[in-house]
């Protein structure tokens, strides 16, 4: 009985891995960038996007160690080499690998003329350890007991308090200081300087995290696109065109793992400012449209799967 059950499971697995082909359900609907409305123009701006950020004038596509920046007001495009950390006062704060990809440098890059300036990196961990060592020595000398029995731990709260006070005094940290953090990298901007702190002492990290400010003075916001429902597009239907299995990965020790690939047509109709139309787009079954409207410039930007499109009317 078990033998027949295993044979049935094997047949089921083979059947599920078979290649499938389908047909276009609506051949009369044109494929993007064409639509049924000739007064509407759709253009592909960028393919294979990872993360997309935007505000009222910029689209920023984060692509590994590059930023693709499109200024929609000036109608310009630029590639910025570096990994995005923060966006402050119309300036990108990025990290960039140098010297054989071992050392990082940090730069501030203007989103207008893309001029660059280096940001210094500071490390005050040595100061923190000196404070702890000094407190240990003071505790040891004041107790006047045998070193073999002495196992006191320095008062970390006292060390933290002294360290933070010295740090804030040295770098003129006030309530107006800009603080932003990501992945244990902290960017600070005071009235007279800006700098990066990497992997700060725990007490300083907690202090900086608590001081991150969420006001417009801190960040000229870049919103990250997210799936939030569509106002202008309505999904009509989906048609499977091709489904197959593809082996990926694998080496001498591990076999390749089959991966199901499905490609089809998603059909949409749109209505925007009295303009109506339909189009189809080649993608998989699970994708949907994420839209970013700009009615002032009579333009709609939308993302489907990993592609960014511009619709003008």
Same domain? For 139 and 197 the reply is no
Return the exposure string of 242-255: e unless at least 16 CB atoms fall within 10 Å of the residue's CB, then b: ebeeeeeeeeeeee
**pLDDT tens-digit profile, the chain (313 residues):** 555 454 445 444 554 556 677 788 999 999 988 999 988 999 988 887 777 787 777 888 887 788 888 887 777 888 888 888 888 778 888 888 876 656 678 999 988 888 999 999 999 888 888 888 777 776 555 544 444 433 444 456 788 888 889 999 999 988 888 888 887 888 998 888 999 998 888 888 888 888 775 434 444 567 777 656 678 888 899 998 887 666 555 555 555 556 677 888 999 999 988 899 999 988 877 667 777 766 556 778 888 777 888 888 8
Same domain? For 246 and 302 the reply is yes
Same domain? For 40 and 61 the reply is no
Q: Check if the beta carbon of residue 272 is closer than 8 Å to that of residue 292.
A: no
Q: Whole domain around residue 280: which residue ranges? A: 19-48+228-312
Same domain? For 154 and 182 the reply is no
DSSP structural state of residue 36: S
Q: Check if the beta carbon of residue 301 is closer than 8 Å to that of residue 311.
A: yes
Distance CA 227, CA 12 (A): 35
Can you give the pLDDT at residue 310?
85
Distance CA 76, CA 49 (A): 18
Same domain? For 185 and 282 the reply is no
Same domain? For 235 and 286 the reply is yes
Closest to 70 in 3D by CA, of 86, 83, 88, 57: 57
Can you give the pLDDT at residue 147?
45
Closest to 183 in 3D by CA, of 200, 166, 169: 200
CA 210 to each of CA 147, 160, 203: distance values in angstroms, whole numbers, following the listed order: 39, 15, 11
Can you give the pLDDT at residue 218?
42
Residue 145 lies in a domain: yes
Can you give the pLDDT at residue 3?
55
Can you give the pLDDT at residue 293?
66
What are the tokens at 146? 């045998």
Q: Please state the domain count of the chain.
A: 3
Q: ∠ CA(52), CA(118), CA(58), 5° rounding?
A: 25
Distance CA 187, CA 87 (A): 11
Can you give the pLDDT at residue 37?
92
Residue 5 lies in a domain: no
Same domain? For 272 and 139 the reply is no
Can you give the pLDDT at residue 300?
81
Whether residue 157 is preceded by a cis peptide bond, meaning omega within 30 degrees of 0, is no
Distance CA 280, CA 287 (A): 13
Same domain? For 92 and 24 the reply is no
For the entire predicted model, the pTM comes to 0.65
**CB neighbour class for 270 (10 Å; exposed up to 12, middle 13-18, buried from 19):** buried
Say if strands 223-224 and 194-198 run parallel, antiparallel, or are unpaired: unpaired
Can you give the pLDDT at residue 193?
92
Same domain? For 205 and 303 the reply is no
Residue 62 lies in a domain: yes
Cβ contacts of 86 within 8 Å, gap of 6 or more: 92, 93, 180, 182, 187, 219
């Amino acid at each position: 009985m078990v033998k027949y059950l295993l044979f049935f499971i094997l047949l089921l697995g083979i059947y599920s891995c078979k290649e499938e082909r389908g047909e276009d359900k609506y051949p009369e609907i044109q494929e993007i960038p064409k639509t049924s409305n000739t007064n509407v123009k759709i253009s592909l701006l960028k393919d294979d996007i990872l993360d997309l950020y935007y505000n009222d004038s910029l689209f920023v596509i984060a692509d590994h160690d590059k930023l693709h920046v499109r200024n929609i007001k000036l109608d310009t495009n630029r590639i910025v080499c570096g990994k995005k950390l923060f966006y402050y006062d119309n300036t990108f704060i990025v990290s960039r690998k140098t010297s054989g990809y071992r050392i990082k440098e940090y730069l501030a890059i203007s989103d207008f003329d893309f001029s660059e300036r280096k940001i210094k990196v500071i490390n005050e961990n040595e100061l923190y350890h000196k404070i702890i060592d000094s407190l240990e020595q003071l505790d040891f000398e004041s107790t006047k007991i045998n070193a073999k029995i002495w196992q006191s731990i320095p008062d970390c709260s006292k060390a933290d308090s002294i360290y933070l006070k010295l740090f804030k005094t040295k770098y003129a940290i006030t309530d107006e200081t800009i603080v932003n953090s990501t992945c244990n990298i902290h960017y600070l901007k005071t009235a007279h300087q800006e700098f990066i702190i990497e992997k700060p002492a725990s007490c300083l990290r907690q202090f900086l995290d608590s001081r991150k400010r969420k006001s417009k003075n801190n960040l000229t916001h870049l919103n990250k696109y997210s799936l939030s429902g569509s106002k202008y597009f309505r999904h009509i239907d989906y048609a499977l065109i091709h489904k197959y299995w593809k082996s990926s990965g694998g080496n001498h020790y591990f076999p390749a793992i089959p991966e199901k690939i499905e490609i089809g047509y998603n059909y949409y109709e749109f209505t925007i400012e009295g303009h109506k139309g339909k189009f189809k787009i080649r993608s998989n079954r699970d994708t949907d449209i994420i839209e970013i409207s700009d009615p002032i410039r009579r333009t709609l930007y939308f993302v489907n799967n990993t592609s960014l499109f511009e619709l003008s009317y």
